[in-house]
Structure 1
Amino acid sequence: MTDDTDARAGVVGLGMIGGGVAVSLARRGRALAVYDIRPDASAHLAGVPGPLGSPAEVAAASDVVMVAVVNAGQAREVIGGERGLLSAARPGLTVVLLATVALPVVHELAGMCAERGVGFLDCGVTPGDRAAENGMVAILGGDRPTVDAAVPVLEDWARKVVHCGPLGAGMATKIARNVVTYGGWRSVSEAAALAGAAGVDPERLAEVIDTADPEGHTLLQLLRMRGPDGTLPAAVGGQIEPLMTKDLDAARELAASLGVEAPLTDVARTQVRRTLDLGDRPVPAADDLHRFGLEMMDRVYGPGFSSAVPDTGEPFTEETVDYLFARVWGRPGLSVRDRRLLTLGVAATTGRQELIRIIAGGGLVNDELTPDQLREAALHLAVYVGWCNGTATHTGITAAIEAHTPQQEPS
């Protein structure tokens, strides 16, 4: 390649990103050759010359060529087609792929370039709408010498160049970044639906978020809390887990009460421990199993419930604590609320209103279920377990609600 300041740039594809890259390069005075299937593609691009006749002509006139096409098929044609870049490339040319494609395609294209002595970099870019303002981030994958040779040209259109690692690393980083973007859009959509169903103008939700976190740091807070090994310290995750669980349970309850579908909230709730790098809840050692089972009893039915369990060593009672609560209720796959609803359904088939009262009462004490939700459950279950058992279920639920609801003093 020639001296860094004299390196010639090429751009193939003059859409929003490629056109913006070309404008930024022209503004910096970089020698520039471009190609697009539309002959007039550069007419509205300030300082950008008219398109040449083929990608091959761009390769002949350039030292670093940015390929800004839409998909893998177009990238193959532009790079390796009959009049593609490689048909006129000389050793020392560097091809920089700006299109988002699958990693196997990255390695395929890099192999084609290597056969001709041409360097190749995969380069995710973001945000695309800032391309013409020298405002994008270039997310690079490739070997260090090829990166170093291309950086002077890349810096003419990118406000920051980030070398993420070897070939494919740039594309993987861009794809991961897209997950954050589109996953965030889904969470915003779900949150706005929830707020709207509760009578809140979504604009007020946006106002709260913008004011509380104007720089958007909360979105990446989990990454910044991770240690040098890339995982969240267990002590930190342990502190966050109960708060995260409580808040997501509240969100699920609100969604259920308003009839709003919240699948992302459900997934976030069931994956709390994995999100916080706590893994699946480990089964306690044998000497801690009984204590853990008693703690789970209190989580299921309310503080102090386990104090009524007799310490007699009787096998059935021991297995109730050590197996049913420690090993089954304590598993991470379902929340306590989920397991309670399943248990309520089974209990409804027995017609034992005193058992229903205990199960429903735990849901009220833990703020997992509202009285109206329990009444709705009684009606739903009656259809499946029969009206006689349903009557017992309704009676038990009503008794739990009355016991949980403060009674007003007579006036």
Structure 2
Amino acid sequence: MTAQTAGRAGVIGLGMIGGGVAVSLARSGRVPAVYDVRPDAADPLPGVPDVLASPAEVAATSDVVMVAVVDADQARRAITGEDGLLTTARPGSTVVLLSTVALPVVRELAAACAGHRVGFLDCGVTPGDKAADHGMVAIVGGDTEVVEAARPVLEDWSKKVVHCGPSGAGMATKIARNAVTYGTWRTVHEAAALASAAGVAPARLAEVIETADPLGRTLLQLLGMRGEDGKLPEAVVRQITPLMTKDLDAALDLAETLGVPVPAVAVTRERAADTLELPSAVPDAAPEAPDHDPDTAYRRGLALMDQVYGPGFSDAMPDAPTGEPFTDATVGHLFGEVWSRAALSVRDRRLLVLGATAALGRGDLIRIQTEGALINGELDARQLREATLHLALYVGWGNATAVRTGIEEAIAARTDAPPRA
């Protein structure tokens, strides 16, 4: 089938999305054959003909059939059931799945269609409320030639067809897009709760956001910053990191003061370094049985120092082993062969060191570790203050006072706020 012969369209399922697709097709002059479990489902849809008796009848008269049912089981019945599409679909026709289902289901249905020499496209759609107005984006996964053959039909109900990649890519992109939507909803919920607790009407928060960024570009700013290699430029990340962590720390402090739970904000702060893909420039982790090559271990140690304590920390160290035992052992053995081992993360090892250092009552050393944790987004201010209380029960109140001093000094240095009294 070529793009020129992809003329006849069918739609299975006439809910908000499927019904809207059918209306858009009818308005485009490509009146579809339709099926729905409700015999009268087409009655309120302008230009859409009466419902046929089964999906099989739709496939018998269609080149491209859109399946817009609720879930995976309904999709299976519509496509592979006793009177499903594949019982009458001609080789070279195409099934386009608009329903959001798991990727294994996509693969299952694609394989079933392939067994009948029928093309299959997974096609996420958004926004669903614009289906009847030719206003949705078709988010397509599948073979290029199948996509191009079906494109004339897809373009008759969508404002844009985005071919995301091979089979499964459309569904994965739609699921990822949903994660952005619902993740944003959670963040907005927490932000509104925080504003309300501070005496600010949520409408004022919405007004500020909509006025400052009416097109919502901030939401996708991180994606737009990526270079041709798909990575975030290191210079940009280094510039953003302190601002992001400072602002999130301020949000967590306000939430703590007002007694507002903000778990999404806390996770965002904890994972700030991951979000920004903060480059560490650390060589491969040390093997579980180190080879003790001093030059390799030393280079790895310098890189680990910067990862543990922040960029530039290792600048105070010699570039290569000097023969001075303590410095060489600190860089090459402690960091190059122990901190770099893969069995524990940097965060895990830092917590161990914080506990050991707390027992010594060394607030100055606690501050160094705390600053590293804050720079890397491993721990936030609230978690560090909770750690102070927890450690006090184990190392004694006197030592915990020194721990608290070091932690508060580090927090103040990172947030430009005075230490707590």
Inter-partner Cα distance in structure 1 for 2:2 and 2:259: 65
**Structure 2 residue ranges without an equivalent (≥5):** 284-295, 317-322
Contact 2:59 2:86 in 1 (8 A): yes
Residue 250 of structure 2 aligns with which residue? Answer: 250
Alpha-carbon distance change, 395 to 160 in structure 1, aligned in 2, over 3 angstroms: closer
Contact 1:96 1:122 in 2 (8 A): yes
Residue 409 of structure 1 aligns with which residue? Answer: none
Residue 397 of structure 2 aligns with which residue? Answer: 390
Residue 138 of structure 1 aligns with which residue? Answer: 138
Q: What do the CA deviations read for 1:107-153 (whole angstroms, capped 9, x no partner)? A: 22122112222111111101111111110000111122211221111
Residue 106 of structure 1 aligns with which residue? Answer: 106
Residue 287 of structure 2 aligns with which residue? Answer: none
Letter in 2 for 1:149: A
Superposition map of 1:332-371 within 5 A: 355=362
Residue 63 of structure 1 aligns with which residue? Answer: 63
Q: What do the CA deviations read for 1:350-402 (whole angstroms, capped 9, x no partner)? A: 7x6xx5699689989x9999x999999988776666xxx5378569979999x
Tell which deviates more after alignment, 8-17 or 243-252: 243-252
Tell which deviates more after alignment, 145-154 or 288-297: 288-297
Kindly, what percent of the aligned residue pairs are identical? 61
Residue 183 of structure 1 aligns with which residue? Answer: 183
For the residue of structure 2 that corresponds to 1:121, the secondary structure is strand
Tell which deviates more after alignment, 321-330 or 22-31: 321-330
Contact 1:294 1:321 in 2 (8 A): no
For the residue of structure 2 that corresponds to 1:117, the secondary structure is coil
Structure 1 residue 38 displacement after superposition: 0.9
Structure 1 residue 81 displacement after superposition: 0.8
Inter-partner Cα distance in structure 2 for 1:246 and 1:327: 32
Contact 1:357 1:397 in 2 (8 A): no
Residue 309 of structure 1 aligns with which residue? Answer: none
Contact 1:122 1:168 in 2 (8 A): yes
Residue 272 of structure 2 aligns with which residue? Answer: 272
Inter-partner Cα distance in structure 2 for 1:171 and 1:236: 31
Alpha-carbon distance change, 139 to 381 in structure 1, aligned in 2, over 3 angstroms: closer
Superposition map of 1:260-299 within 5 A: 260-280=260-280, 282=282, 286=298
Residue 148 of structure 1 aligns with which residue? Answer: 148
Structure 1 residue 262 displacement after superposition: 2.6
Contact 2:140 2:161 in 1 (8 A): yes
Residue 16 of structure 1 aligns with which residue? Answer: 16
Tell which deviates more after alignment, 76-85 or 43-52: 43-52
Inter-partner Cα distance in structure 2 for 1:400 and 1:8: 69
Structure 1 residue 233 displacement after superposition: 1.6
For the residue of structure 2 that corresponds to 1:228, the secondary structure is coil
Larger RCO, structure (CA 8 Å, separation 6 or more): 2
Inter-partner Cα distance in structure 2 for 1:99 and 1:131: 13
Residue 121 of structure 1 aligns with which residue? Answer: 121
Q: What do the CA deviations read for 1:273-325 (whole angstroms, capped 9, x no partner)? A: 332222447489858979997999899xxxxxx9xxxxxx9988998999999
Inter-partner Cα distance in structure 1 for 2:150 and 2:171: 17
Alpha-carbon distance change, 240 to 328 in structure 1, aligned in 2, over 3 angstroms: farther
Letter in 1 for 2:24: S
TM-score by length of 2: 0.74
Q: Larger Cα Rg: Structure 1 or Structure 2? A: 1
Alpha-carbon distance change, 281 to 254 in structure 1, aligned in 2, over 3 angstroms: farther
TM-score by length of 1: 0.76
Contact 2:308 2:346 in 1 (8 A): no
Inter-partner Cα distance in structure 2 for 1:26 and 1:295: 60
Inter-partner Cα distance in structure 2 for 1:274 and 1:374: 19
Inter-partner Cα distance in structure 1 for 2:212 and 2:307: 36
1:48 aligns with 2:45: no
Letter in 2 for 1:244: M
Contact 2:359 2:399 in 1 (8 A): no
Inter-partner Cα distance in structure 2 for 1:399 and 1:245: 19
1:233 aligns with 2:233: yes
Structure 1 residue 186 displacement after superposition: 1.8
Superposition map of 1:207-218 within 5 A: 207-218=207-218
Residue 302 of structure 1 aligns with which residue? Answer: none
Inter-partner Cα distance in structure 2 for 1:329 and 1:264: 30
Letter in 1 for 2:146: T
Inter-partner Cα distance in structure 2 for 1:56 and 1:194: 54
Inter-partner Cα distance in structure 2 for 1:259 and 1:267: 17
